[in-house]
Each structure stands twice: as C-alpha cells, then as structure tokens.
Structure 1
C-alpha cells in the first residue's frame, strides 16, 4: 500500500505524518509536492497540518488552487481515503470536499495542548479500529480550528452519522463540539487534532494510531475484494 502526503509551501507536519504512517503501518509513504498533477499510484492521501501558503487570505484558501488539488478531487470521486489534518481540514473545506468552515478560535488565541476526543462512529475508513464512545487523547495546535456550519448542514451531519469525532471539552467553540467530519461518501475525513502526534509512548499518547491503522485495513480489504 502506498500513501501520498501532500506538501504545500508552509506545510510543517508533512514529515510527522509520513513517519507516523511508517511507524504504525509499515507502508510506503511519499511526500508529494503541490505542483504535481497525478496521484494515480497512491492508495491513500494525507493533507497535513501547517500553514499552507502562509495562511494568507484564509487558512487553506490558496492551497485549494494548487495543481495537485485536481488529482485530490479525482481520487475522492474514486473512493480513495483522504484525510485532512488541521490545515488539511481547512483546505478540504475551502475545496468544497467537506462542508462548513474553520473560523478563528472563540477566544482568538492559538491553542497547542492535549485534548480528549470522543469517537462518534466507527463506520468509516478512518475510525474502524475504534468503538463509538471511545475517548482518545490527541493534541491540537491551531488558531483557526473552530468548526462552523449552518443548522441544515449540522442536522445532515448528525442524521448521516458523519460526525467522526467530538471534543469532550470544546477548546475552540466549534459548533456542537465537532472535531472531525466525513464526506457524504465517507471516504474523506477532516480532523483538526493531530493523530500523527499521538502514535508512540514518547508522544504521551498512542491513541491516534488507530486512524492510520483503520485506513491501512480499509485499503487492504478493498484491494483484496477487487482481486477476487
């Protein structure tokens, strides 16, 4: 299995994500520059955290126009699992691959700390390793992490069980304590906390490993089904 970790100018969690994937799954993980135009060889895509294009205009607003994003959209249509972490989540909303928006934190401060998340569903390629109700300790590091959507979108997310994670103690004022959401097809996840920073004992938590393990299992089983 091959993973692509997209690198924009200003990405700073790209190598963290790459090393977490290798540590947890043993898979091949490649850093892919934003000016590339094909992701045909990859089985899973990660849009990592950081400050793409310096977060000018809005976080993720410029990255949505990067050449690589057409390939990301194409892979989303094909059902490839795509995860956007922190800035990657912001990019996915700006690219309209996920609904809603990420706004400045409620207190206008940058938050960098360990938080608790509750798993809301395990019916996705990203959460199958967990059980609904599991509490995970995973760090956040963001200034614009407050998820916002109108009441119709929030109702749809709830009805379709597309809220993947909620904060136990909402640190940024997100609507309905939402920390991560799924696309309608359930193969795109946006997540503000950083699972790649919670995959080893020295990181003070291994709770994020299940995200990468779930994706690996999903792709492996999918490829096995196609082979038969």
Structure 2
C-alpha cells in the first residue's frame, strides 16, 4: 500500500522531471542574456543614491552595459520608482553575485506562481492537475520570462493574490497582489492596454478591414516610446528616486 504522503506527491513527479530537463534553459550560462544586467544596473544606481531616470548616469558605460547608454538616450527607464527599490538589494551586490541572486529570486517566484495557480484553480483529479503543472512548466511564457529576466511570474502571482484576497476578503492577500502587480507594471504595458481598449468601440462601428489598415499605418514603436518617455518624466519629477 502506498503511503498517503507519497500519493499526494505523485502528481508533482512529471512537473519536477520537466524542470530538471529544461534547467539549462531556465538558467543560461550567459548572465548577460536578456535584461538581467539592465535590472541589476538600475538597482545599482538606486543602491548608490543615484536615479535610473537620469540619462547622465548611463554615460560612459563599457562592455555589455554600453547598449544601455544607447537605449536610455531614446527610451528612459520605463519602470516606476518602487521597482528600483525592489532591485536595489541586488544592485548593492557585486555584478555576478547580484545577477545570480536576482535570477534565483525570479525562478522561485515563477515556480511559486505555477503552484499557486494549480492550487487556486483546483482542476478535477490529481492527474489532471499533474498534467496542468507539467504544461505550465514547459510553456513558452514561463521559460522565456525566466530565461530573459521578465516579471511575468510577479504579474501572475499578483493577479492570483488579488483574486484570493477578493474571494476570501483577505486584506493582506489583496495588498500583496496589488504590490506584485505594481512591481511588474511598466508604461509600455499600460499604453498597449489603453490602445487595445480604445479599439473596441471602433470595431463595432467599422469593418475589420478598416481597423487593420489603421493599425498598419500607425507606428506602434513611437506610441510606446512616447508613453514611456512621458510617464518616466513624471516619475522623475515626483518620484523619490528622481530627486
């Protein structure tokens, strides 16, 4: 007879096997792949009393950081001040140590978000849940976000905690969910969301062909950069990190 504890752990075996197989993808040998050094340097600026919104703080960077100097001349740091505060402990560490610590934190957040999702959704049957866990662990959003330093895990956890806080009338769950959503928000995502919502009335009044033409004629990169620049400028004037 199989012990009850073993029976409860059996659905997680395929999930763990997938994580072991894809570990080289989740933890690449090149620590400068994606946005890892971008986030580390922003945290480093905050930890040393400087602002990530000031373009002058990116001047004269060399090596893998040189691209940040070029990028910040046209696109300021697009995250709110509290994101910099979250990154400051990692930026206070030496480069390689800070990158490893940041990567480990996001990996743990991603795995916790998947397990949290499986627990809250409560799919019927243990093996159905095991299949859902395995698919989530092997999915492109989880692997790519974890590999390239994106905050998708924090965004997913934030939504789940908000839902749990609303259902259970739990203030701390709701506050934690709101904090995670605020941490992972950026002006570009808000601009994209606003743009998609503004197109909904147009769909009902026009044909799909006219909407697709207007989308092709409108350069999205300029809209995103304008939204990021204006919002970052506002944070630079009012945020505690921009003073």
TM range (shorter): under 0.3
Structure with a larger share of its residues in helix: 2
Give the TM-score taking structure 2 as reference length.
0.26
| Greater relative contact order structure (CA < 8 Å, 6+ sep) | 2
Give the TM-score taking structure 1 as reference length.
0.27
Name which one, 1 or 2, has greater alpha-carbon Rg: 2
